[in-house]
Amino acid sequence: MTLSVPILVVTNRKGGAGKTTVSVNIAAEFAASGKRVLLIDLDSQGHCAMGLGVKVKPGQATIHDIFASSDFSLLDAVSETFIPTLFLIPADATFQHHKSGDDNQYLLRGLEQESIATQFDLVIIDTPPSLDNLLLNALSAATWVLVPYIPHPLSFEGVRQLVRVLFNVISEKNPKLKILGFLPIMTTTNVRQHRNITEQVTKQFGALRVLNGIRMDIKLAEAFAANKPVRFYAPKSRGAEDFAQLATTLLELMESSD
């Protein structure tokens, strides 16, 4: 079966690089534009649910059930959010990564279900920072990869490690996979280190791949505490403005790469 729903994976090998902040907020932006969006939280920390105000009940189906049963249907784990066109498949906070097996096609097969393609226009996957079968499942299913990074040397090293993984996945598992861009977040233009790190990313991967950044804004953290994407918590903030612009840019890039 041919996979027809586009899949955007948000990832970086470095923890704390803003993957969940980006995943939740761009999912909200795409949904606000009218797209039917399915957000999948592969990270067992489960923070996507927090960012959308979704309560995960004990025993509730989660994305990690796909690694335990060949009969599992992703639709059985879909939760509604307060945004009518945004849906979430939450994470299992108790999931142990070593139980994900060694088959990197679980997620691909799940997303190839015809019902996924007919009910959603876009799938976004938030990933754990670990290099294990969870990440390989996400990358093996993906159409595009978006790499957020904090302008810090450790985050930059996470980017470089990830790119080596991406090249292996593209050559061996998923030749259609494309890098959509590198996204600096929590940026401050008057901090020299922030400028230097982004210059290094630009030099190594090309200016066309480095996207306009998400500026430092306390409203982004406050929005998570309020269980809302920033566009609903502080629509006039810098963070809301930057994510709205980012969503427009990403849609243009995805459409041009089809």
| pLDDT tens by residue, 136-174 | 999 999 999 999 988 776 777 778 888 888 999 999 999
DSSP string over 2-14: ---S-EEEE--SS
Q: Which DSSP state fits 181?
A: E
- Among 36, 90, 98, smallest CA distance to 65 is for 90
Confidence band (pLDDT; 50, 70, 90) for 1?
Answer: very low
Phi, psi for 132 (deg, rounded to 5): -145, -170
Q: Taking the model in full, what pTM does it have? A: 0.92
| pLDDT digits 0-9 by tens, 101-131 | 788 899 999 998 878 989 999 999 999 887 7
Domains and CATH numbers, the chain: 7-257 (3.40.50.300)
- Among 75, 87, 99, smallest CA distance to 27 is for 87
